[in-house]
Structure 1
Amino acid sequence: MSAHPLVPLSPPSEIGPFHIRPASEDDLPALVRLDTELFPDFAYPYFVLRQFLDLYQDRLLVLDDGSSLHGYALSALSADGRTSWILGLGVAERLRGRGLARRLMQETLRRLPADGVHEVWLTVEPANTAAITLYHSLGFTRQGARKDYFGPGHDRLLLALRH
């Protein structure tokens, strides 16, 4: 029997000293700090991350070493439940290149079929070649580009993973 196409190799939730787990309310201050570090121009305000936690707690995964958060992935379901959007993915700059973003994405994708998801969408900055390479390696394909997607001068590529 073949694996569900949205499920790359299932990673363990333990990655060396790191653990991938759903975020908790206690994580909010660290999550806000991390998001601001990762995306200074587009960081989610505290109140938005608070509401994401309330709405998507099982889909807001954090990379934790027991004392600090070092990354996160956030996905959300469409109204019909068949499509998911990746709303955020990031790993602290000092830890990049270790496969941690891949593991966060794999864990996110591993969880989605249980919700009936048949496709996953995301946007990425056209100049972010590392992220684009990661997404392509996970099976995402380019679906187009959107000029000014996040406002004037902030273009995005649209990628999707379907089965």
Structure 2
Amino acid sequence: MLGRGYSKQLLGKSLEALRQQNILMIYLEVETENRTAIGLYQSLGFAPVKLLKDYYQPTRDGLKMKLNLVA
């Protein structure tokens, strides 16, 4: 089931619903080791904002990302 684009479709629909509600920006946090998720978020337009040292556990960093929803 991996690689079929279901996650991207679902997130895309969710982001569109947020745009329709006039939400201007969205933030998320993801573990830095989760390269698949980071790639997905970047493909949707999310940009890295800040490295979150030891965010999940000691030695497990997070990455804060944001997406501007204004077209």
Decide: shared fold, TM above 0.5. Answer: yes
For Structure 1 versus Structure 2, the TM-score category normalised by the shorter chain is: 0.7 to 0.9
* Structure with greater proportional strand content: 2
2:25 aligns to what? 119
Query: Are 1:102 and 2:8 matched, yes or no?
Result: yes
Moved over 4 A (4+): none
User: After superposition, what is the alpha-carbon deviation per residue over 1:3-31, rounded to whole angstroms, capped at 9, x for unaligned?
Assistant: xxxxxxxxxxxxxxxxxxxxxxxxxxxxx
- For 1:103 and 1:118, the matched residues in 2 are separated by 20
- SS of aligned partner of 2:28: strand
What is the count of residue pairs matched by the alignment? 69
**Structure 2: which 5+ residue stretches go unaligned?**
none
Q: Provide the alpha-carbon RMSD of the alignment.
A: 1.3
Please state how far the C-alpha of 1:118 moved relative to its aligned partner.
Answer: 0.3
TM-score for the superposition, normalised by structure 2: 0.85
Post-superposition offset of 1:158: 0.7
TM-score computed with the length of structure 1 as normaliser: 0.40
**Which structure has the bigger radius of gyration?**
1
Specify every segment of 5 or more residues in structure 1 that has no aligned partner in the other structure, as ranges: 1-94
CA shift, 1:115, in A, is: 2.2
Question: 2:31·2:56 contact (CA, 8 Å) conserved in 1?
Answer: no
